[in-house]
C-alpha cells in the first residue's frame, strides 16, 4: 500500500516534470530543487567540495535527470529523489577524479548499486555543432529541440507554435535543419571534423 502510494507520487512527479504546461513543469522543478539541493550540498561539502561546486553538480544532475525522463530511461525502480542523488553522486565522483581529489572521497561510493548509467561526455565535434546551433534563430532552436530531443510529433510541434497544421511544422523543421547543415558546411573548422572518419 505504502509502496503503491510512493509509486503514484513518483509517477505524478515524472508527469509534472515532463509536462508541456510551463507552469506545472516549473513548479515541479522548483519542488525538486528546494527539496534536494540541501542534501546534495551537504554531500559535496562532506566530500571536499564547496557550495558553488555543489550547485553546478546539482544543476547538471537535474539536467541529466530530465534527459533520462524524456528518453524514458527512468524505470521508476526508485524515487526521483534517490535517482537524482545517485546521478549527482556519480557526477561528483567524476569531478573528484578529474581533479585528483579521490583521497577526499568517502568510501561509500564503492558500494553504489544505483541503476543510473553515466552519460558519455560530449565530443568536440558535438560542441562545435552546438555553437552553430546557438546561432540559429530562437524559433529554429526550439523546433529542433522539440523534434530531436523532446521527440514531439509534427502535430504536437504545430500546436506548440500555433501553426495551422502539421505541414507548416514540417516545413519549419526542414528549413531550420537545412540552415544548420549549411552553417556546418560553411564552417571549415567544424566540417573538417566530420571528414575522414
Partner 1 sequence: MNQEYFERCENYLLDKMSTEERSNFEKELTQNEALRSELEIAKAIHSSAELSVKARLKQELDVIHQTHFDSTKDNVEEFEQASRRNVIPAIVIGLLAVLLIWAAAKMLMNEEPVTQTIYAQNFAVPKLDFTYRGGSTDRFFQLLESSYEEGKYNDFIKQVDDRDSLLTSNPRLMLAKGIAHLEIGEASEARTNFKKLMENAFYRDQANWYIGLSYLKEDDVTNAQKFFKIISRSESRFRDQSIEILKKI
Name the residues that contact partner 1, by CB under 8 A.
23, 26-27, 29-30, 33-34, 37, 45, 48-52, 55, 59-60, 62-63, 66-67, 122-123, 125-130, 132-134, 141, 144-145, 147-150, 177, 180-181, 184-185, 194-197
Nearer to partner 1, 10 or 49 (CB): 49
Nearer to partner 1, 66 or 93 (CB): 66
Residue 148 is classified by DSSP as I
Beta carbon of residue 3, minimum distance to partner 1 (angstroms, whole number): 30
Contacts of 80 (CB under 8 A, 6+ apart): 10, 13, 14, 17, 32, 65, 74
Residue 121's Cβ-count burial label (10 Å; 0-12, 13-18, 19+) is: exposed
Beta carbon of residue 5, minimum distance to partner 1 (angstroms, whole number): 26
Q: Contact 109/43 with Cβ under 8 angstroms?
A: no
Nearer to partner 1, 7 or 126 (CB): 126
Beta carbon of residue 128, minimum distance to partner 1 (angstroms, whole number): 8
Nearer to partner 1, 27 or 78 (CB): 27
C-alpha cell at position 3: 509502496
Interatomic CA distance for residues 85 and 74, integer angstroms: 14
Beta carbon of residue 104, minimum distance to partner 1 (angstroms, whole number): 9
Interatomic CA distance for residues 30 and 157, integer angstroms: 25
Beta carbon of residue 22, minimum distance to partner 1 (angstroms, whole number): 10
Closest CA to 116 of 91, 146, 153, 147: 91
Nearer to partner 1, 6 or 123 (CB): 123
Interatomic CA distance for residues 150 and 141, integer angstroms: 12
Amino acid at each position: 500500500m505504502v509502496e503503491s502510494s510512493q509509486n503514484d507520487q513518483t509517477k505524478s512527479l515524472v508527469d509534472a516534470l515532463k509536462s508541456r504546461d510551463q507552469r506545472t513543469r516549473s513548479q515541479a522543478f522548483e519542488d525538486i530543487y528546494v527539496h534536494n539541493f540541501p542534501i546534495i550540498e551537504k554531500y559535496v561539502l562532506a566530500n571536499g567540495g564547496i557550495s558553488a561546486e555543489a550547485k553546478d553538480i546539482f544543476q547538471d544532475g537535474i539536467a541529466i535527470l530530465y534527459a533520462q525522463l524524456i528518453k524514458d530511461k527512468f524505470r521508476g525502480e526508485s524515487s526521483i529523489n534517490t535517482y537524482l542523488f545517485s546521478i549527482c553522486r556519480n557526477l561528483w565522483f567524476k569531478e573528484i577524479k578529474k581533479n585528483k581529489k579521490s583521497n577526499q572521497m568517502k568510501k561509500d561510493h564503492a558500494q553504489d548499486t544505483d541503476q543510473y548509467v553515466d552519460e558519455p561526455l560530449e565530443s568536440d565535434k558535438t560542441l562545435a555543432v552546438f555553437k552553430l546551433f546557438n546561432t540559429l534563430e530562437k524559433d529554429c532552436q526550439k523546433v529542433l529541440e522539440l523534434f530531436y530531443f523532446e521527440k514531439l510529433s509534427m502535430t504536437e510541434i504545430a500546436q506548440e507554435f500555433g501553426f495551422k497544421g502539421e505541414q507548416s511544422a514540417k516545413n519549419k523543421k526542414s528549413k531550420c535543419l537545412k540552415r544548420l547543415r549549411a552553417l556546418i558546411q560553411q564552417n571549415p573548422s567544424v566540417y573538417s571534423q566530420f571528414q575522414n572518419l
